[in-house]
């Protein structure tokens, strides 16, 4: 039997029930960017890494204001959020050279939102062949790089002008 070690998942398991407050609001207010995995901020939104990613480089763009629905955003907030999505997309293209992307918004619990009350957009880089038998047979995802290593690489790319 093959074993896949993922010790960072224990943090998720131990803290999942204990988390209070909104991760996006905390990230906006606390300004400890590396700890919160925030890569960029703009006037009305932020870009941060997903702590429990679908694949390496899985980013999220979220409005600064705590809103649950697209209709709750002002025109300025909507434009800024979409510019952040484009910024995240271009960052990943420069840093990770993906062959494609999945981008999406899950609104409400029935829509699959893990964080229902603060809407956000997922930006997920994809590569040909990045799906394999692990997901199909074992309901397991293999993430080949650590979060902080990926964060540091993306942060360096931002400094270089991506």
The closest alpha carbon to 107, from 81, 71, 54, belongs to 71
Beta carbons within 8 Å of 76's beta carbon, 6+ residues apart: 43, 44
Domain that holds residue 34: 8-159
Tell me if 116 is assigned to some domain: yes
DSSP 141-160: ----S-HHHHHHHHHHHHHT
Residue 41, SS3 per DSSP = strand
Displacement of CA 14 from its chain's centroid (Å): 20
Q: How far is residue 105's CA from residue 150's CA, in Å, rounded to a whole number?
A: 23
Angle at 36 between CA 4 and CA 93, to 5 degrees: 70
pLDDT for 19 equals: 64
Tokens of 92: 């990943």
Residue among 58, 87, 118, 120 flagged as catalytic: 120
Q: How many domains does the chain have?
A: 1
pLDDT for 134 equals: 43
Q: Which range scores top for mean pLDDT: 132-136, 140-144, 146-150?
A: 146-150
Name the pLDDT band for 128 (thresholds 50, 70, 90).
Answer: confident
CATH of the domain at 120: 3.30.428.10
Tell me if 85 is assigned to some domain: yes
Which is more confidently placed, 9 or 95?
Answer: 95
Decide if 120 is catalytic: yes
Tell me if 144 is assigned to some domain: yes
Tell me if 2 is assigned to some domain: no
Tell me if 113 is assigned to some domain: yes
Whether the per-residue pLDDT at 1 is higher than 80: the answer is: no
Tell me if 81 is assigned to some domain: yes
pLDDT digits (tens, 9 = 90+) for 3-51: 556 665 666 556 655 567 899 999 999 989 999 999 999 999 999 999 9
Whether the per-residue pLDDT at 117 is higher than 70: the answer is: yes
Tell me if 1 is assigned to some domain: no
Tell me if 58 is assigned to some domain: yes
Judge contact between 106 and 116, C-beta under 8 A: no
């Amino acid at each position: 039997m093959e074993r896949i070690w993922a010790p960072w998942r224990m943090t998720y398991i131990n803290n999942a029930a204990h988390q209070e407050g909104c991760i996006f609001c905390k990230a906006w207010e606390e300004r400890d960017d590396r700890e919160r995995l925030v890569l960029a901020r703009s006037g009305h939104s932020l870009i941060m890494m997903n702590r429990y990613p679908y694949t390496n480089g899985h980013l999220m763009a979220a409005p600064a204001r705590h809103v649950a629905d697209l209709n709750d955003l002002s025109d300025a907030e909507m434009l800024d959020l979409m510019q952040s999505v484009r910024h995240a997309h271009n960052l990943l293209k420069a840093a990770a050279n993906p062959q494609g992307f999945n981008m999406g918004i899950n609104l409400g619990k029935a829509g699959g939102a893990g964080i229902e009350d603060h809407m956000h957009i997922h930006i997920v880089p994809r590569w040909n062949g990045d799906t394999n038998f692990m997901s199909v047979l074992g309901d397991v995802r293999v993430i080949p790089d650590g979060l902080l290593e990926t964060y540091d690489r993306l942060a360096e790319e931002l400094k270089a002008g991506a």
